[in-house]
Amino acid sequence: MRCMSKERHEALGLSDDQVLEMFKTMLLARKLDERMWLLNRAGKIPFVISCQGQEAAQVGASFALDRDKDYVAPYYRDMGVVLAFGMTATELMLSGFAKAEDPNSGGRQMPGHFGQKKNRILTGSSPVTTQVPHAVGVALAAKMEKKDFVSFVTLGEGSSNQGDFHEGLNFAGVHKLPVITMVENNKYAISVPIEKQIASKNVSDRAQGYGMPGITVDGNDPLAVYEAVKDARERAINGEGPTLIEAVSYRLTAHSSDDDDRQYRESDEVEEAKQKDSIITFAAYLKEVGILTEEVEKELNQEIGSIVNEATDYAENAPYADPEDALKYVYEE
């Protein structure tokens, strides 16, 4: 039975179909990620760096942006962002298998180094935080050309200690640029816990020094993140400058498939975090308001299962790049 009072998503201007699409995107990111871990353990793909636990922040933020105009500079965990912006499950699997058709790099880059011109996804690189000045540069172009788009950049809380973070946000604040910076605080910078990374209570406290608003939101709540990013985008488009958003969640997996997180955190801590998993809590909300019925949930799981299976089969059987293709785009060719 549908509740009579106005629901949270309706108050934010989101339709039933939109929030169901948000959940579908979150679930697709989770199922793709889980499949990639299985493929890695089977020796079929070399490396996985997970989005698990951070899908709500990624998808909630993306739905608050104009996905036909805005630019995104994602960091390596942002499978939810790039899926929301138009990258397909098959394209992500091609990247995982390092095949020639990988749209990010033609199989040259590690998985998680996203980049796709047609969907305005800025190419990322292995040194962390280098995407921040790039996103600020895109925002500068928007201001100079008087265009009504924003740039959106994400990073982990550990990356907020890098020089690129300071330089990028300082420049954005000085020039009031239309850039939104979202720190996905998952509590660990590889093996270093948050309390050994940052002296302030929140990463968002740093915004004051850059002359911009700083907001901390529940990263497990896609609607809270949606609202924060929507407000930040309105500020940016209205010429009021940048915003720093901290979305607090938890990294449910090890740092990567090459990491053993048992060396630095207790399993009880991970299990406790799993109780707040956004895939569970957002599904519960959608069920409570009558959107995610048993029939819809069954159809959704079947559809996503088929998408993941088809993406896996296609990517596994796709050709690798020719060895001489390693020379492409390096010199004149």
Give per-residue burial for 173-195: e unless 16+ CB within 10 Å, then b.
Answer: beebbbbbbbbbbbbbbeeeebe
In sequence order, what are the beta bridge partners of 244? 181, 214
In this predicted structure, the answer to whether residue 331 has a pLDDT above a threshold of 90 is no
pLDDT score of 178: 98
Q: What is the mean pLDDT of residues 245-270?
A: 96
Please tell me the distance from the alpha carbon of residue 222 to that of residue 152, in angstroms, as a whole number: 16
283-304 pLDDT, tens per residue?
Answer: 999 999 999 999 999 999 999 9
pLDDT score of 1: 39
Cα three-residue angle 99-101-103, rounded to 5 degrees: 110
Give the count of beta carbons closer than 10 Å to the beta carbon of residue 90. Answer: 19
Q: What is the mean pLDDT of residues 147-162?
A: 97
Q: What is the mean pLDDT of residues 324-331?
A: 82
User: At 274, is the pLDDT very low, low, confident or very high (cuts 50, 70, 90)?
Assistant: very high
Please tell me the distance from the alpha carbon of residue 135 to that of residue 141, in angstroms, as a whole number: 10
What are the helix (H) ranges across 42-108? 55-63, 79-84, 89-96
pLDDT score of 223: 98
pLDDT score of 328: 83
**Exposed/middle/buried for residue 279 (C-beta within 10 Å: 0-12, 13-18, 19+):** buried
In this predicted structure, the answer to whether residue 4 has a pLDDT above a threshold of 50 is no
pLDDT score of 163: 97
121: which DSSP letter?
B
CA distance readout (Å), 184 to 98, 156, 252, 294: 26, 5, 13, 32
In this predicted structure, the answer to whether residue 232 has a pLDDT above a threshold of 90 is yes
In this predicted structure, the answer to whether residue 2 has a pLDDT above a threshold of 50 is no
Q: What is the mean pLDDT of residues 151-169?
A: 97
User: At 333, is the pLDDT very low, low, confident or very high (cuts 50, 70, 90)?
Assistant: low
pLDDT score of 5: 53
User: At 332, is the pLDDT very low, low, confident or very high (cuts 50, 70, 90)?
Assistant: low
Q: What is the mean pLDDT of the chain?
A: 96
pLDDT score of 329: 79
Q: What amino acid positions are annotated as catalytic residues? A: 251, 255, 264
In this predicted structure, the answer to whether residue 28 has a pLDDT above a threshold of 70 is yes
129-149 pLDDT, tens per residue?
Answer: 999 999 999 999 999 999 999
Q: What is the mean pLDDT of residues 194-199?
A: 95
Residue with tokens 């299962």: 305
Helix 222-237 crosses helix 55-63 at what angle (to 10 degrees)?
40
Q: What is the mean pLDDT of residues 156-171?
A: 97
Percent above pLDDT 90 for the chain: 93
54-82 pLDDT, tens per residue?
Answer: 999 999 999 999 999 999 999 999 999 99
Please tell me the distance from the alpha carbon of residue 191 to that of residue 10, in angstroms, as a whole number: 40
